[in-house]
A and B are shown apart, each in its own frame.
Chain A
Amino acid sequence: EIVLTQSPATLSLSPGERATLSCRASQNVSSYLAWYQQKPGQAPRLLIYDASNRATGIPARFSGSGSGTDFTLTISSLEPEDFAVYYCQQRSNWPPITFGQGTRLEIK
């Protein structure tokens, strides 16, 4: 099973700042990585798939990069609605499909 480790666990930033979230895989997952956003009391929403492709309707301030074992989600300039929990997910070697433990992005 591929383990995804996200860092940091919590990130405290202010609106307008740049956010950089990391996800490291225990094995090579090529570009088969996605990012999801989850707000309190809501279902997750797909942001990025195949490491760098934005899902439909996702603002351009969200971008993904990386391949192999190291991946990054960048939010170029934080909006108030971006404060949430973010999860990475891999589909390279499955089953099982696995998720990281999440990064909580909170307002500083």
Chain B
Amino acid sequence: QVQLVESGGGVVQPGRSLRLSCAASGFSFNSYGMHWVRQAPGKGLEWVAVIWYDGSNKYYVDSVKGRFTISRDNSKNTLYLQMNSLRAEDTAVYYCARDELYGGNSNWFDPWGQGTLVTVSS
């Protein structure tokens, strides 16, 4: 079955860096766009970034542009989110999610991983 497993979360000081990973299995990873979506504690959902199935296009929410980088390694079926210059407001559960559309980009998220918590605090 389709499975997405995030890792790499933890507690980090403001200004430091962290890299999240999302290991995918059960589907043709290299045929789907992938997204990161975050959820601050007790808050709603915020889309963070998307990468096309082949890595050719990447888009970000303004609040992370220049600080976060989405990437993928299709040979390892793994999605990444490199987070630099972290701020307290980046504290959230980070979910990876597969785009719903095979071979394209629909910007619907299905399914989602279980999430990994990132806490930015001194």
Contact = CB atoms under 8 A, between A and B. Distances in A.
Q: Do A and B come from one complex?
A: yes
A45 to B, nearest CB: 7
24 contacts: A36-B45, A38-B45, A42-B114, A43-B112, A43-B114, A44-B95, A44-B109, A45-B111, A55-B100, A55-B110, A56-B110, A89-B45, A91-B106, A94-B107, A95-B47, A95-B61, A96-B61, A97-B35, A99-B44, A99-B45, A99-B46, A100-B44, A102-B44, A102-B45
Interface string B23-65: 0000000000001000000001111001000000001111000
Contact of A99 (B47, B95, B106): B47
Summarize B's interface: helix, strand, loop or mixed. strand
A12 B33 CA distance: 37
Interface string B104-121: 001111111111000000
Contacts of B60: 95
A86 to B, nearest CB: 11
Summarize A's interface: helix, strand, loop or mixed. loop
Interface residues of A, number: 23
Interface of B: 35, 44-47, 50, 59-62, 95, 100, 106-115
A96 B47 contact: yes
B61 A46 contact: no
A59 B120 CA distance: 39
A46 B44 contact: no
